[in-house]
Amino acid sequence: MADDLDKIKAMLGGLGGLGDTPMRKQTEKLKSVEPGSVESFYMVAAFCFDLQRRMEYMCKATLDYESGMDSGLAREIIADNEALQADGLSWKQRAELAEKIMLRLYKQIGARHERALQQAAARGA
């Protein structure tokens, strides 16, 4: 039991450690590029890749617990991954599909998350 608690603490510590320190820290990002420029494209790409990097760390931090994942959630993740990875899709089609999936997920959990957030905030008031 103590070993599980240590693992959970390490996992939560890992999740907490990846959630901060934006690129170039407190510098103004939008003022550093000309909208529509090549450099602005690479800034957006860098932030997207950095978000993916952080999600990879999140996966790495929680990997020991994935065997306990809800099977329905696992099937949903696999189906969405397969849809987004399908051969022959353009980047535009992938972006539109990713948006559709994101909105579906938000519709499923958004209200519940908002209630939980409000309840947690009210406890400390």
How far is 29 from 116, CA to CA, in rounded Å? 32
pLDDT for 56: 95
Helix or strand run (H / E) with residue 46: helix 38-62
pLDDT tens digits, one per residue of 41-64 = 999 999 999 999 999 999 999 998
Contact (CB, 8 A) for 61 and 18: yes
In the predicted model, is pLDDT for residue 99 greater than 80?
A: yes
* pTM: predicted TM-score of the whole model, two decimal places: 0.82
pLDDT tens digits, one per residue of 68-94 = 999 999 999 999 999 999 999 999 999
